[in-house]
Structure 1
Amino acid sequence: MKKFITGCIIFLIPVIAIYAAVEYSLRQIPYAVKIKKEFAMNNREDIKILALGSSHFERGLNPQFMDSLTLNLGNSGQRIIENYRLLLKFEPLLPNLKLVIVELSYDWLERNKSMTSPVVDNLNLVFYDVNTFERDVKPQDYLLFPSNPDFFSNRLSEHIFNESALKFNKFGFDTNRFYGSYEAVQHQDSLIKDEDIYVENATDPVAFSKNVKILNKFIEYCEKRKLKILIYSTPTHYRYNRLRDKQIVQRRDSVLQEFKQKYENLSVYIDEENPDFVTPFFYNGDHLNPTGAEKATKLLNEYIEKNIFTKQPSSKLSK
């Protein structure tokens, strides 16, 4: 028995050492979340705007083109509840914060936890020390590799061989994310098929009720801290908009109208149907490419400077 235990220990030591080396190496990779955390800590006294959303913000809001210093924590699949947790973490760290921008894309009130990748939760925990799992944290949650071995294997390989196409600016925005389904067909509308435009059309009454309550808490939190809040949705391609469920849009917009009347600190800017955003500005149906993000961010900045940082907030809802 003693020899068996000794053998097991001898076997496990190199395995543990290799795994520890993998986890350490993964933490050296310049993820967007890592860059954003460093930016937040290095500029915490000067940040005036905090943006919280999903990949629509991650790819569609470039703080480089904002007049006020902006921290954009947008990440793929982050719903209202994950963004609320991030708000609770970061708001106390930013003493001069004036405005919180939160995403409310068309079916975001209908989304449940199954639509958030576990990778997002692990990254939030490891780099932000924020639990977005909607459960108690387990020891393995602090490990990156097990949450998605394929994803992290690819990232590690790209990092080791310097093959990554990602090019982050100091705000953690990827300035090189152009090659998506739209660029694959050279942005020719005639070559884009409806079946290739992914529209989830999420409908979940339970999730809807829960998310409305969380959004209400979100706004109340900002109101108590005398922060202005802007609900914003990035432009989406007209083909994508055409495939949306109109009832989902109406449910979202009815909630926005109700909240707009209820809260004085709330403004709404839904730019999904902006006709100026034609195919070359898009990565795919509902995500902008870096050129589109520049255009959208400049419009958002103009709206904020004219309407939010003045005494007369206004709203722009989808028609």
Structure 2
Amino acid sequence: MRKFIKNFLLFLLPILATFFILELLVRKSNSLYREKWEGYISKSDSINILVLGNSHAMNAIDPREFDLFAYNMAFASQSLYYDKEIALKNIDNMPNLKYVLISVDYHSFHAKHNEARDIFYHYYYGIDYGNKKYFFENVSWVKTLGFKQTIREHIPRSKINPYRGFDFSYDSTNWNVMNSLEGKKRVEQFENSFINNEKDVINNLIDFIQVLKSKDIIPILITLPCHDYFTSHLNKDIVKNNEKTIKQISDLNKIEYYNFIDSNYPDSLYYNVDHLNKHGAKKISKKLNGIITSLNKN
């Protein structure tokens, strides 16, 4: 029996050691979440413009094109809930913050909360969704992220080096998906995630805006350019309702809203049907810089 236990422990030991090493590696591994957050914290006292939103803003707003010091904390599938939490968690450390750009898009008020992303905000930002608990997720990152995904994605990552949160690796056009059919698929992908949660999302956004204004920070709502291959398939009733809601929010809180969705940019400025590449980002960022420069003079 002792021999069996000894052999079993000898068999188990390298497995446990491997798992322990993987756990250490994945907790220290690089990710765009980690790099953006570390830059956000380290540059807090310099930030004049904070960019928030989903991948539309993540890809489209280049801090290099602003006269004031801008930082991009938008991320793929990021909801307005996390936009608010990201800003408020660090707001007392940003004494020079003047403007917050908040991206509101076709799906912003309607999409189902993406639970799969929650763990990354918990791990890298220290932000939890509501009262959600993460006991088991904290015990093992490897188990939570998945063994295969850990090996394939999380451990081998090298430094991404985003510039003030902006990932400028989208430098061309993916011509394989630049067509009307792909635009229709993309719209359907959004609409398949729609649920009736507009009231909570809108109230949360209004509360966020009011907190910013109470601190003499100017919120600016924006909708970023998307290709006609995408916009031509949008549900007109949803678009109209979104525009009505955004107007009510902006009028109620006396803030500016800029809608650039139908900018008619050439295909070469898009990465795909609803995201700009870095060349498109340069163009729209220059326009936003002009707007903020004018506001800053008043």
Aligned pairs for 1:1-319 (under 5 A) are: 12-113=12-113, 116=114, 118=116, 120-132=117-129, 135-141=132-138, 143-149=140-146, 151-156=149-154, 158-159=156-157, 167-178=160-171, 182-184=174-176, 192-195=179-182, 197=184, 198-199=186-187, 200-201=190-191, 204=194, 206-264=196-254, 266-275=255-264, 277-307=265-295, 309-311=296-298
1:65-95 per-residue CA deviation (whole Å, 9 max, x = no partner) reads 2211122111111111121221221212212
1:283 Cα deviation from its structure 2 partner: 1.2
Between the aligned partners of 1:218 and 1:40, the Cα distance in structure 2 is 19
Asked if 2 retains the 8 angstrom alpha-carbon contact of 1:125 and 1:142, the reply is no
Between the aligned partners of 2:220 and 2:5, the Cα distance in structure 1 is 60
Between the aligned partners of 1:244 and 1:112, the Cα distance in structure 2 is 18
1:126-183 per-residue CA deviation (whole Å, 9 max, x = no partner) reads 2211113662333415754444435543324753xx7xxx853332322222466x33
Unaligned runs of 5+ in 2: none
Structure 1 range deviating more: 71-80 or 125-134: 125-134
1:259 Cα deviation from its structure 2 partner: 1.5
Unaligned runs of 5+ in 1: 312-319
1:19 Cα deviation from its structure 2 partner: 2.5
Match of 1:317 in 2: none
Q: Please identify which structure carries the higher helix content.
A: 2
The residue identity in structure 2 corresponding to 1:177 is Y
1:176–1:140 Cα change, 3 Å:
same
- TM-score, length of structure 1 as denominator length: 0.81
1:241–1:23 Cα change, 3 Å:
same
| Greater RCO (Cα-Cα under 8 Å, separation 6 or more) | 2
1:209 Cα deviation from its structure 2 partner: 1.4
Asked if 1 retains the 8 angstrom alpha-carbon contact of 2:25 and 2:155, the reply is no
Between the aligned partners of 1:288 and 1:87, the Cα distance in structure 2 is 24
1:31–1:109 Cα change, 3 Å:
same
Between the aligned partners of 1:287 and 1:142, the Cα distance in structure 2 is 37
Between the aligned partners of 2:102 and 2:5, the Cα distance in structure 1 is 54
1:26–1:293 Cα change, 3 Å:
farther
1:60–1:24 Cα change, 3 Å:
farther
Asked if 1 retains the 8 angstrom alpha-carbon contact of 2:41 and 2:90, the reply is no
1:84-143 per-residue CA deviation (whole Å, 9 max, x = no partner) reads 221221212212211111110122101121xx262x322222221111366233341575
1:10–1:230 Cα change, 3 Å:
farther
Between the aligned partners of 1:139 and 1:89, the Cα distance in structure 2 is 24
1:171–1:230 Cα change, 3 Å:
same
Between the aligned partners of 1:67 and 1:130, the Cα distance in structure 2 is 30
- TM-score, length of structure 2 as denominator length: 0.86
The residue identity in structure 2 corresponding to 1:268 is Y
Asked if 2 retains the 8 angstrom alpha-carbon contact of 1:201 and 1:244, the reply is no
Between the aligned partners of 2:43 and 2:155, the Cα distance in structure 1 is 31
1:232-259 per-residue CA deviation (whole Å, 9 max, x = no partner) reads 1211001211111111111111111112
Match of 1:314 in 2: none
Asked if 2 retains the 8 angstrom alpha-carbon contact of 1:85 and 1:132, the reply is no
SS in 2 for 1:231: strand
1:2–1:87 Cα change, 3 Å:
farther
